[in-house]
Amino acid sequence: MVTIRTSKWIAPFCLAAVLPLPLAADSPIEEMIADQRARRSPAAPAALANGVGIVCPPGTGAAEFHLADFEVDDGGWVESGFGDWERGGVTTGVWELCDATPRPEPAGVFNGAAVMGTNLDGCYQNSGQDSSLSQTFDFSTLAAPIALEWAHWYEVFMTFDRADVFVEGVSEYFVPDSTPTADWLPQVVDLSAYAGMPAIDIEFRLHATTVVNRMGWYLDDVRILYCTADIFADGFETGDTTRWSNSLP
């Protein structure tokens, strides 16, 4: 069963009709609806192992290939497009007007004193354009696993607008709905498929229509993680403690 909603605007009212139409399970429209539902339901954030979004094999540990905490600079991330991205602090307890409705700012920064966000002084613009934040990385010396990790706060009008993370032009993550986050959330994207490649473009992109805007998308502590051999590791599995001493130095 699918419901098709048609409407005709007669200011200031909207007249709507709802037409229930039974569809076969294998109809093209049902398949399209199922595909859209799947696209609108991205996987939950990956579980963070030892505080980072990567699980390393035995004998290795997580290391930072890249870190942008936005405290003193943009960390190499380049703004392009309409121009809503900016770096700075967040004033707490301030409500902004986007569409005549008060919208809350995030509850401070995630870490430190600065973040990267789409218009830190209010709502992102109804620009009808993309505002992008991107950087190109050389993974030629890295082996899988590799992960992109960041913390974010968002309120995006996802009915029309979009907030995606693109890797080499492919959307690997998008903000799932229009509900503002209650707090900063961790998010992880697996980059293992790009191991060994020399020029990988990663882009945080907010596409705004000209219809309705919201507070936007705020990022902090953007990291790229990989696994490297442990300098020293001992799981005490064999019972051999000869490399350890319990005497005073």
Residue whose entry in the numeric block shows the structure tokens 């030892």: 50
φ, ψ of residue 151 in degrees (nearest 5): -110, 140
Residue 211 CB contacts under 8 Å (≥ 6 apart), including other chains? 126, 157, 160
Q: Within a domain: residue 47? A: no
Q: Within a domain: residue 30? A: no
Closest by CA position to 204, among listed 147, 150, 123, 144: 150
**Residue 168 lies in domain:** 60-229
Q: What is the pLDDT of residues 76-91, one digit of tens each?
A: 999 998 888 999 998 7
Residue 116 CA to residue 152 CA, distance in Å, equals 9
- The CATH number of the domain holding residue 199 is 2.60.120.200
Query: How confident is the prediction for the chain on average, in pLDDT?
Result: 79
Q: State the total domains in the chain.
A: 1
Q: What percent of the chain has pLDDT over 70?
A: 74
Q: Within a domain: residue 218? A: yes
**The pLDDT value given to residue 15:** 35
Residue whose entry in the numeric block shows the structure tokens 């907010």: 206
**The pLDDT value given to residue 231:** 65
pLDDT surpasses 50 at 8? no
Whether residue 151 contacts residue 111, with contact meaning beta carbons closer than 8 Å, is answered with yes
Burial class, 232, CB count within 10 angstroms (exposed 0-12 / middle 13-18 / buried 19+): exposed
Closest by CA position to 216, among listed 126, 118, 132: 118
Q: Report the first-to-last Cα separation within the chain, whole angstroms.
A: 76
pLDDT surpasses 60 at 149? yes
Whether residue 190 contacts residue 23, with contact meaning beta carbons closer than 8 Å, is answered with no
Q: What is the pLDDT of residues 44-56, one digit of tens each?
A: 344 443 345 788 9
Q: Within a domain: residue 64? A: yes
Residue 139 CA to residue 144 CA, distance in Å, equals 10
